[in-house]
Amino acid sequence: MKNLFKTGILMCLMVLVSCEDELTQEPIGLTTLDQANSTPTLNTVESSVNSSYELLSNRLNILAQWDWGGGLVFQNDYIMQDIASDDMEKKWGSDGDQPWMDEINNFTFTSTNGGPNGLWKYNYEGIKRLNIAIELLTKSDIEAITGITTARKNQLLGEAYFLRSYYYFSLVTNFGDVPLILAPVKTYQEAFDVAVRADKTLVWDRLKADLVLAKGLLPNSKYSSSTEKWRVSKGAVIALQAKAALYTEKWSEVVTLVDELAPLGYSLNANYFDNFNTSKEYTDNEVIFSYDHQSNTTPRRGNGICAPLGWGFFAPSTDFLNSFEPNDPRKLYTVDAANQNVNKILGSLDGANKGNDDAATNKVYMRYADALLWKAEALNETGDYSGAIAIINLIRARARTTVTASGTIPPVGTLLNRVASTDKATVKGWLISERRAELGFENQRMLDLKRWGIAKAVLTAHGKNFQDKHLLYPIPQSEIDASAGTLTQNSGY
């Protein structure tokens, strides 16, 4: 019977069934349910949360060994959000390598494509680990058993609630209704019971509720730990609360939450590239949440996404390059087309880390400029056009005063301020353009186009076969098969 469940959500969530067919490299220190249910140790408590971060890593082969077709060699964010959009192409030169990526690019994919499969499995594996961590940390006697302090327990539990929310945010925005799993799945019957799609409103409500819990548990400071600055902070929680409010159109909440970030110590960096420069990590003012990649560690935790850059993957579309205003420093800081270097991903301006499968450059998930533009969007939606324009101009001012990648100052007249306007559509157009320039190659474009309701118009004009059904990705067919049809498919697939 075990073979029936070796793939799909049942495999991902069943914690008492062997996963060696899929998870060929269990992380060192991964906490199992047996450990959580027996007498846990302080190390068990710590590792239960630490291993849950790993699914945000760009390390290669976390879930399987070179399963390209299954979308499991690395996270699929760049494929699903950037290549699928009008910003990125699969490679600098067209070829037949990894045709499943081409299917995402031209919207000919089906429910067996590796992109949705990898996206689904990464998120649910993270949720599986977090459910074990939360069950362990909420044991009434965990402090007495392990000796963990109340402050440390609260911090780890706050991190776990945030991370579970983050994984569910990815699932609900990409798939819509998804199974809502809030505890470890211990039997086959439970696995069948939970393999049912919950209405997306319930998923949004749960992830928002988890964020409220996380916010109350984490210290009121920029970093949760002065020695482990990579950990989830209260700022990360607030930022994800604001982003969730944005996606559910709770405009006043967006404004209130974004305003809570500056008092914690967040501001725009003077130099745009400091957000991505490997040498500036955890010393800058702007990055709110990132995954801390490190080279030469055991177990490995380097940024493996730099390896496919050395194989010719991830190139800008001509439309993306042409979308920048003249002399905008962000263009070259994002991608050096002449030398085929994606600087923003590499964390360097000279090609360093290109081809390196163990690079130290971090993966940035949320930063203050992004949050400010959420606020600008919310202000525009509520009629505060001058407030929205002021934020857009603040972002433009930082860009035009940034020393360029070549070491010069942009010429006078670069990125002039947007003028006063009371036309909502005009301001929205400026916002759309600014987000594309500011956040290119940061896995935001496709989700932005979809939530703005302009994906079909933009991508059709770009020559893509985007249909209404593509507003959501298909539930992986392997998941539906493994559930014996309990999981249902998104419309059109």
Q: What is the set of domains in the chain, with CATH numbers?
A: 1-218+457-493 (1.25.40.390), 249-452 (1.25.40.390)
Predicted pLDDT at 182: 96
**Which tokens sit at 124?**
């649910």
The pTM score is 0.94
Kindly tell me the burial class for residue 321, based on how many C-beta atoms sit within 10 Å of its own C-beta (0-12, 13-18, 19 or more). middle
The neighbour count for residue 264, using CB atoms within 10 Å, is 15
State mean pLDDT over 234-238: 98
Cβ-contact 493, 111 below 8 angstroms: yes
Give CA separation, 376 vs 96, 169, 241, 242, 444, in Å.
42, 21, 16, 12, 16
> Residue 160 belongs to what H/E stretch?
helix 150-175
**Which tokens sit at 255?**
């404004």
> Residue 107 belongs to what H/E stretch?
none
Residues in the chain: 493
DSSP annotation of 315 reads: E
Predicted pLDDT at 31: 64
Predicted pLDDT at 253: 98
First to last CA, the chain: 29
133 pLDDT above the threshold of 70 = yes
Q: Rounded mean pLDDT of the chain?
A: 93
Give CA separation, 367 vs 236, 285, 443, in Å.
9, 9, 13
**Given pLDDT bands bounded at 50, 70 and 90, which one contains residue 25?**
very low
Q: Distance from CA of residue 330 to its chain's centroid?
A: 21
Cβ-contact 266, 222 below 8 angstroms: yes
Predicted pLDDT at 17: 36
385 pLDDT above the threshold of 70 = yes
In 324-429, DSSP assigns E strands to 363-367
Cβ-contact 443, 74 below 8 angstroms: no
Each residue's pLDDT tens digit, 332-367:
999 999 999 999 999 999 999 999 999 999 999 999
Nearest Cα to Cα of residue 447 among 196, 215, 119: 119
Least confident interval from 22-36, 419-433, 443-457? 22-36
Cβ-contact 364, 442 below 8 angstroms: yes
Torsion, CA 128, CA 134, CA 139, CA 142, rounded to 10: 110
**Residue 312 to residue 310: CA distance in whole angstroms:** 5
> Residue 304 belongs to what H/E stretch?
none
Cβ-contact 63, 304 below 8 angstroms: no
Q: What are phi and psi of 442, to 5 degrees?
A: -115, 25
The answer to whether the bond into 316 is cis (omega within 30° of 0) is: no
Q: What percent of the chain has pLDDT over 90?
A: 89
DSSP one-letter string for 11-62: HHHBSSS--TTT--SPPTTPPPHHHHHS---HHHHHHHHHHHHGGG---TTS
Cβ-contact 22, 124 below 8 angstroms: no
28 pLDDT above the threshold of 80 = no
Residue 24 vs residue 433, higher pLDDT: 433
Each residue's pLDDT tens digit, 34-78:
666 678 999 999 999 999 999 999 999 999 999 999 999 999 999
Predicted pLDDT at 189: 84
Give CA separation, 24 vs 72, 123, 147, 400, in Å.
11, 17, 33, 48
10 pLDDT above the threshold of 90 = no
**Residue 357 to residue 329: CA distance in whole angstroms:** 28
Cβ-contact 492, 469 below 8 angstroms: yes
Dihedral sign, Cα of residue 239, residue 341, residue 432, residue 460:
negative
State mean pLDDT over 303-321: 98
DSSP annotation of 81 reads: I
Predicted pLDDT at 26: 46
Cβ-contact 428, 376 below 8 angstroms: no
